């Protein structure tokens, strides 16, 4: 990566989430694009000042999600991501929820981002309000190559939170091996929903069967970050860094600084 090799073996890393407010084209869009950009930039600057290692820009406010973003959403997300890119010096990733790998990789390439998060990489899952979401690994790695963007790392969820795996006989280990074989650069494991702690035993199970970095993708906080990072290579934290732990609130400098201090 151009600014920090997040996949190095040096120390566990913390990735903070920059959650966009509802974007144009979303049901709850409030009509003020400049405010969306401003709030995202403020959160990014707070995260950097508090000592996180990287950021992910995500269109979290667009729930209920589509599998692929509409043109208005993806264009707005690119504008937000570029503003964030210009405001901080941290590595930046893109997560175009629910599973728009084309949008995520394209924006990352356009803004000079370093990685993308792809929630449904090798599993076929059911997501409430959306339906069946098929895996996209083969398309995503080809699209990345076609764009000349192979320097952009793929952080792939396996059996991602808020979904049900359509083929329940497929184990977590099976999904982990498949994601590694399909070109993921790092794997993300989570609890079953936002804010729920990722079970340590799940992280251990995945690390036993792959040679990739494994990240805890939910529920990391000041109370468990040391324990989690004894096993995981990094963590992605959203609601745990928000004021009052509320997903729609701004990032709390105090919470974030306490967490990074606790880890280091």
Section 225-233 average pLDDT: 94
- pLDDT confidence of residue 3: 38
Angstrom distance (rounded) from CA 105 to CA 42: 24
Specify the residue for token string 């992910």: 56
% of the chain with per-residue pLDDT over 70: 95
What's the pLDDT tens digit per position in 164-212? 899 889 999 999 999 999 999 999 998 765 657 888 999 999 999 999 9
C-alpha distances in angstroms, 86 versus 45, 80, 92, 170? 10, 10, 11, 42
pLDDT at 2 over 60: no
Q: What is the pLDDT of residue 196?
A: 73
Of the candidates 198, 214, 218, the one whose C-alpha atom is nearest the C-alpha of residue 206 is 214
The residues, ordered by sequence, that sit 6+ positions from 9 with a Cβ below 8 Å of its Cβ are 233
- Its sign, for the CA torsion 174, 177, 183, 188, is positive
Summarised one tens digit per residue, pLDDT across range 116-169 is: 999 999 999 998 878 999 999 999 999 999 999 999 999 999 998 788 899 889
Domain 13-263, architecture per CATH: Alpha-Beta Barrel (3.20)
pLDDT recorded at residue 18: 98
Residue 5: pLDDT band (50, 70, 90) is low
Residues 6+ positions from 254 with CB-CB distance below 8 Å: none
- Specify the pairing of strand 115-118 against strand 153-157: parallel
Tokens representing residue 59 in the block: 């269109």
Helix runs in 4-113, H state only? 33-50, 71-87, 101-111
Which pLDDT score, from 0 to 100, does residue 13 have? 94
Phi, psi of 107 (to 5 degrees): -65, -45
């Amino acid at each position: 990566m151009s600014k920090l090799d997040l996949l190095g073996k040096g120390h566990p890393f913390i990735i903070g989430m920059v959650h966009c407010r509802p974007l144009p084209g979303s049901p709850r869009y409030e009509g003020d694009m400049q405010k969306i950009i401003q709030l995202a930039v403020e959160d990014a600057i707070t995260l950097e000042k508090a000592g996180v290692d990287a950021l992910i820009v995500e269109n979290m406010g667009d729930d209920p999600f589509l599998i692929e973003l509409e043109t208005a959403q993806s264009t707005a997300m690119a504008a937000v991501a570029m503003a964030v890119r210009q405001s901080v010096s941290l590595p930046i990733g893109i997560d175009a929820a629910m599973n728009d790998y084309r949008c995520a990789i394209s924006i990352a390439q356009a803004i000079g981002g370093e990685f993308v998060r792809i929630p449904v990489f090798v599993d076929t899952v059911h997501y409430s309000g959306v339906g069946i979401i098929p895996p996209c690994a083969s398309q995503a790695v080809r699209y990345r190559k076609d764009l000349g963007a192979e320097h952009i790392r793929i952080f792939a969820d396996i059996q991602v939170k808020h979904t049900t795996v359509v083929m329940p006989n497929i184990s977590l280990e099976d999904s982990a091996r498949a994601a590694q074989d399909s070109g993921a650069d790092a794997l993300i494991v989570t609890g079953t929903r936002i804010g729920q702690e990722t079970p340590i035993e799940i992280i251990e199970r995945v690390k036993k069967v792959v040679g990739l970095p494994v990240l805890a993708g939910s529920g990391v906080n000041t109370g468990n970050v040391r324990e989690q990072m004894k096993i995981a290579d990094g963590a992605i934290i959203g609601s745990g860094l928000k004021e009052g732990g509320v997903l729609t609130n701004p990032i709390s400098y105090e919470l974030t600084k306490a967490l990074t201090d606790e880890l280091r």
